Structure 1
Amino acid sequence: MTLLSPQSIKIYAETIGISNLSEEVTQLVAQDVEYRLREIIQEAAKFMNHAKRSLLTTADVNDSLANRNYTKIYGYSSVTTSSFRPVSVGNVFYVDDQEIDFEDLLKSQLPKLPQRKRIGSHWLAVEGVQPQLPQNPQQDISNNVELSVNTTQKDIETKDLTKHALPKEQQIFFETLTHGLLKANEIEASQMLGTLRNELGLQLLLPYFIQFASEMVARYLRDLGMLGKMMRMIDALLDNKNIFIEPYLHQLMPIILTCLVGKTLCKAPNENHWSLREFSAGLVAKICNQFKTTYSTIQPRLTKTLLKIFLDPSKPLTSHYGAILGLSKLGHEVVKIMIIPHLKMYGDLLDHHMKDQRSIQHFEAGKCYKALLVNKYDVLNPRYAPRSV
């Protein structure tokens, strides 16, 4: 006795146009079909066991069929159950498909299109530390402490921040170089900056140098000598081809912009803070030219920041001077688009500050006027130019 009766084989044969089958043939076909079914089910059970499941699914059966080069069964899934209805004539059954109103189908909303495939980039690791980004695998926190209503601050387990472990030699090198740079004369400072410009093993020390520059600029904001040393140190780091400085550009730019458009960078107004601003403008241009292929948005963002300062009449003229220098260092095209359309309005502002020739604003306005003339855009009235700037 087989699982499939000869009568079932005859019915299946009639559906494909075969009507004359003998009893002997139907019996042999039924036995062969039973063997094939057992073989497929046993193979499907292996896929089920391999997936560590106790329930056989249609996906397991399809995998078994594909493994034996049989055609998969389409139209059946593991989540939907099909209902069969008998035909009034004979032992024939059919799948009861759901009737769908064509008008309702036309009125229904179309499904959302799938997102286009694209390739993106992100930081997998920075200096050996994996950043917490959605694209990176999330770290498994196994030591979670459940907090209750009565949990006190003492019961909460805290962990210190992860710190880079520097070798003792590099710690001594960093301390010697930074302390020496603060107290060195021009010749010694040039030698130390040359070390920063050419040294090979500075990658681990790079975040420490940037943090050092940030702290020194914030602490000695009105010390021209210290600010100049920090800008020269950043310039040396940018010239070093042996370090990977791109991840730290967002920390460098505020330091440089402070020395470029800061309101007051010296103790006395007659000190030469103009040269510091000019050097800082050169650093801005160097960063834009050096990393324009890696970060295509860095120059537009800097241009927008400098233009905002240039057009703000509430900003001091010293900040305007730095913004003009920064924009002019980015090229003639930037000057043509960002500065030229606003020269008439800015000329009126300079006219207001140049009325009193004894005031410091008169001298500062003259420096702004000269910064515009250096780029050979002589559009302001020459009579406003002071005799000595």
Structure 2
Amino acid sequence: MERSLFAKKNAATLVRRLTIDDVENALRVRKIPVVHGFGVSKPDRFKFLQYQNLYFLEQEDVDLGRILEDSEQLFLPKKVPLRPSFGIHWLAINGVQPTIAENPHLLEGQGTAKEKVKSDPQNGIAKHVLTKELQIYYEKVVLAVVEAALGNSAAAESVYASLAVDPGLQQLMPYLAKFIFDQVNKSLSNLALLKSVMRLTRCILINPNLDKELYLHEMMPPIMTCIVHRRLCTSPFQDHWSLRDAAATLIPIVYGQYGDTYQNIKPRVQNTLRDALMRKDRPLTTQYGAIVGIAAMGPLTVQAVLLPVMAKLLRRYSKAMLRSRSILERREAQHCVGALQSAFGSYLRACASPELSKAILLEEHAEMARAVALAAGEATIPWQPHDAASSSHLFLFV
């Protein structure tokens, strides 16, 4: 009787324990190769739930109070749980990922098909593969720029409108910036294509959903090239003046967005335009671009850069218009005179503005402005303010 009770007790105990022999026997029954090299000194204990006919692994309860008391011995912080904290580190600088502990190493082949990441072993620049949708969109942008250059501007309007407002184009920014840079450098004699590229550049710059900060070094040189380059078309009688005007309007957009972040943008552009204007070996086309570029930067820049030399330039260009034997030179000088008159007129209009008159300090520059008005002649009359409330200094210019 005692032996039978002992046998039943042992059988019940064996049922509750799963051993390695049980796994090996099950594998042999299924004709599966036996797994070797695994074993434990103490078999796991299982509990049996009769009402569900289920076995589950018996686990030891952990006393959190004891863990908190023994935190120093367990090398845990004294205050458990920890409060959430935040840290800041550079994920990438100018497209290059710094090798710090917080940044994971980008290995080739990681990620999904849409977010595949590769690393360049030479310069460490992280590259990404565009999705199929963005590839199609980029091809449409390139086609639209070419179509607009060929005269089919109606087909490109929808693409330009999308570029100006679409928020999902950030991954295309490196490709668009490189496209602008390459096309301007390769197509300096294709006036229609340059105009189309500048239209593309404007749409990108005015899009509030795109971050252009990391690509300014690729976008600013093409803009400046389209302003002050010597020749932007095959024939000098083509209308390259409108291209220079359109490119000049992009300068205030750039430093209006990033002038506070990069305070050297405006001085560098201003110095470049001043150098293009003041050097006598520069052609009149380059000087015209410098004039419209300076005028686009605002009345204070006109006052600082153009106003001291405007009278001298007006006399020089007027002399070229009257005495030059070249029809082309007379025409270019005429455009330069018109650009100077327009810049001076916008300056006069700013002087009459209550918001800008105090910043312009008209009294200190009245003598130079009077000399410019004398050199410009009657051309400045339409720009003169006729409001009696305006400053009396303005009426002394003519």
| TM-score tier (shorter) | 0.5 to 0.7
Contact 1:224-1:266 at 8 Å conserved across structures: yes
- Matching of residues 130-141 of structure 1 within 5 Å: 130-131=96-97
Q: Does residue 1:266 correspond to 2:233, yes or no?
A: yes
Deviation at 1:126, TM superposition (A): 5.0
1:256 is aligned, of 220, 223, 228, to: 223
**Cα separation, partners in 2 of 1:131 and 1:311, compared to 1, 3 Å:** farther
Secondary structure at 2:249's aligned position in 1?
A: helix
Q: Does residue 1:332 correspond to 2:296, yes or no?
A: no
Give, in whole Å, the separation in 2 of the partners of 1:122 and 1:331: 38
Contact 1:196-1:236 at 8 Å conserved across structures: yes
Structure 2 residue ranges without an equivalent (≥5)? 1-74, 76-87, 106-120, 346-368, 380-398
Q: Does residue 1:166 correspond to 2:130, yes or no?
A: yes
Structure 1 residue ranges without an equivalent (≥5)? 1-49, 51-120, 142-156
Contact 1:224-1:265 at 8 Å conserved across structures: yes
Contact 1:224-1:273 at 8 Å conserved across structures: yes
Secondary structure at 2:170's aligned position in 1?
A: coil
Q: Which residue of 1 aligns with 2:165?
A: 198
Q: Does residue 1:175 correspond to 2:134, yes or no?
A: no
Deviations 1:272-327 (A, max 9, x none): 11111011110012112222222222111111111111111101111100100011
| Amino acid paired to 1:363 | R
Secondary structure at 1:241's aligned position in 2?
A: coil
- TM-score (norm. length: structure 2): 0.56
1:368 is aligned, of 336, 351, 376, to: 336
Q: Which residue of 1 aligns with 2:327?
A: 359
Give, in whole Å, the separation in 1 of the partners of 2:123 and 2:329: 54
Secondary structure at 1:163's aligned position in 2?
A: strand
**Cα separation, partners in 2 of 1:340 and 1:123, compared to 1, 3 Å:** farther
Q: Does residue 1:342 correspond to 2:324, yes or no?
A: no
Q: Does residue 1:303 correspond to 2:297, yes or no?
A: no
- TM-score (norm. length: structure 1): 0.57
Deviation at 1:357, TM superposition (A): 5.2
Contact 2:187-2:194 at 8 Å conserved across structures: yes
Deviation at 1:249, TM superposition (A): 1.1
**Cα separation, partners in 2 of 1:132 and 1:314, compared to 1, 3 Å:** farther
| Amino acid paired to 1:215 | D
| Amino acid paired to 2:331 | F
Give, in whole Å, the separation in 1 of the partners of 2:258 and 2:124: 35
Mean CA deviation greater in 311-320 or 358-367: 358-367
Q: Which residue of 1 aligns with 2:250?
A: 283
Q: Which residue of 2 aligns with 1:381?
A: 375
Give, in whole Å, the separation in 2 of the partners of 1:124 and 1:286: 28
Runs of 4+ in 1 over 3 A off after TM superposition: 121-124, 129-133, 136-141, 157-162, 377-385
Identity of aligned residues (%): 32
**Cα separation, partners in 2 of 1:352 and 1:139, compared to 1, 3 Å:** farther
- More helix, by proportion: 2
Contact 2:284-2:333 at 8 Å conserved across structures: yes
- Matching of residues 1-389 of structure 1 within 5 Å: 124-125=91-92, 129-131=95-97, 162-184=126-148, 185-347=152-314, 349-351=316-318, 353-354=320-321, 355-356=323-324, 358-375=326-343, 376=345, 378-379=372-373, 381-382=375-376
Give, in whole Å, the separation in 2 of the partners of 1:319 and 1:200: 37
User: Cα RMSD over matched residues?
Assistant: 3.2
Contact 1:214-1:255 at 8 Å conserved across structures: yes
Deviation at 1:123, TM superposition (A): 6.0
Deviation at 1:252, TM superposition (A): 0.8
Deviation at 1:175, TM superposition (A): 1.5
Give, in whole Å, the separation in 2 of the partners of 1:253 and 1:381: 34
Contact 1:309-1:320 at 8 Å conserved across structures: yes
Give, in whole Å, the separation in 1 of the partners of 2:374 and 2:272: 24
Count of residues in Structure 1 that have an aligned counterpart in Structure 2: 249
Give, in whole Å, the separation in 1 of the partners of 2:89 and 2:274: 30
Contact 1:231-1:280 at 8 Å conserved across structures: yes
**Cα separation, partners in 2 of 1:344 and 1:254, compared to 1, 3 Å:** same
Deviation at 1:177, TM superposition (A): 2.1
Give, in whole Å, the separation in 2 of the partners of 1:179 and 1:363: 35
**Cα separation, partners in 2 of 1:159 and 1:221, compared to 1, 3 Å:** closer
Deviation at 1:159, TM superposition (A): 9.2
Mean CA deviation greater in 287-296 or 232-241: 287-296
Deviations 1:62-110 (A, max 9, x none): xxxxxxxxxxxxxxxxxxxxxxxxxxxxxxxxxxxxxxxxxxxxxxxxx
Contact 2:89-2:102 at 8 Å conserved across structures: no
Give, in whole Å, the separation in 1 of the partners of 2:96 and 2:194: 33
| Amino acid paired to 1:246 | E
**Cα separation, partners in 2 of 1:124 and 1:140, compared to 1, 3 Å:** closer
Give, in whole Å, the separation in 2 of the partners of 1:367 and 1:159: 47
Deviation at 1:358, TM superposition (A): 4.2
